[in-house]
Amino acid sequence: MPVLFEAQYNPPTTFFAALAGADALRLERHEHYHKQTYRNRCLILTNQGVKPLTIPVVNGNRSGKVLTSALEIDYRQNWVHTHWRSLQTAYGGTPYFEYYADYLHDIYVQKPPLLFDLNLTLLHFYLRCLRLPIPVEFTADYRPAYPDSAVLDRRDWLTPKALPLPEPDTTSGLGSLRPYPQTFGKDFVPGLSILDLLFMQGPAAGSFLT
């Protein structure tokens, strides 16, 4: 069964755990933008705790009236530099930061104008890193719900406002996330960006998703 998600910025690990048992990933392309979600933010772990990284968007106060797929990134703010420095500070000493750093940096400096396009490029990169050969599809129109159960609707299932993250639906065959060692703190912190797992586990990261 396909799983329907919104396109997210450096999605949390649970996003990818949900894909482990899916036939395809379907991205919502026809929704209106929702503020304060993973569409334009991610969570990383620093020595001060969990830190959000947020991409500014053009006309942020009016962005809710714009299709997510048409929303422009605001490069007038030097957020690329800020995000990259934050990643270097938080993860520069991890086992696999250098392993992925050049590839990630190349994506960031391309500066795609649309948020959706940046999220899609990052998504494809993470799927390759995790060895998840899952087809990526797009919605043809907007539907508030999918009552026919032809697709598992996970839009806004994950939100930075509601930690800890919801447990995966075991009846659907979706995978779960195994805890892994993290850079700071004694207790495992859920809800972090997939970058946290990749920088810590490298090519073995995919084995933690099931």
Q: Can you give the pTM of this predicted structure?
A: 0.91
Q: What is the mean pLDDT of residues 132-140?
A: 96
Within 10 A of 112 (CB to CB), how many other CB atoms are there? Answer: 16
At 41-64, the pLDDT tens digits run: 999 999 999 999 999 999 877 777
Task: State in Å, rounded, how far the first CA of the chain is from the last one.
Answer: 17
At 91-130, the pLDDT tens digits run: 999 999 999 999 999 999 999 999 999 999 999 999 999 9
Which among 101, 112, 92, 137 is positioned nearest to 9, based on CA atoms?
Answer: 112
Residue type, 11: P
Per domain, the residue ranges of the chain are 2-209
Which among 20, 55, 50 is positioned nearest to 36, based on CA atoms?
Answer: 55
Q: What is the mean pLDDT of residues 176-193?
A: 88
pLDDT at 163 over 80: no
Q: How far apart are CA 90 and CA 183, in angstroms?
A: 8
